[in-house]
Amino acid sequence: MRALLQRVAWAKVEVEGEVIGKIDKGIAILLGVHEEDSEAEANFLAQKIAKLRIFQDSEGKMNLSIADTGGAFLVVSQFTLYADARKGNRPSYVHAARPDKGTALYEYFQAALVKLGFKVASGRFGADMKVSLLNDGPVTIFLDTKELKS
């Protein structure tokens, strides 16, 4: 799994002009599911993100996790995180999970965050979504479970 995290002051996702997910302070996550991913990767990634210390303490240092701040997550499916643009000019997405598996693991990942005690808002898998956010910092971090487990 791949996740692009952005620490945000607020974030929202719209589908066909309707806001379907919205958070205040927290982390917006663009989540890509690989064809070989399983629930193990989803659990690992959820736990890693929950413990990341990317929020500022009273001295301005990034020492606090989202649990320390009471923040929330906005999770948006993003198969294009598995784009392969090594050949030609049109990226290939052959390593992104097919929609049935991608949907299941996207939903499982969100449930894993909820199980850890967090508020989670989300987009809609496969929909044409409009994502708006106010990046706080900015702080943007890319995580890949294959690299994290190596």
The catalytic site residues sit at 78-80
Place of tokens 């052959």: 94
Report the distance separating Cα 50 and Cα 44, nearest Å. Answer: 10
How many Cβ atoms are within 10 Å of 29's Cβ, its own excluded? 25
Cα angle for residues 47, 79, 64 (degrees, 5° grid): 30
Element (H, E) at 44: helix 39-51
Q: Are 112 and 75 in contact (CB under 8 A)?
A: no
Q: Is 111 left (phi over 0), alpha (psi -120 to 50) or beta?
A: alpha
SS3 83: coil
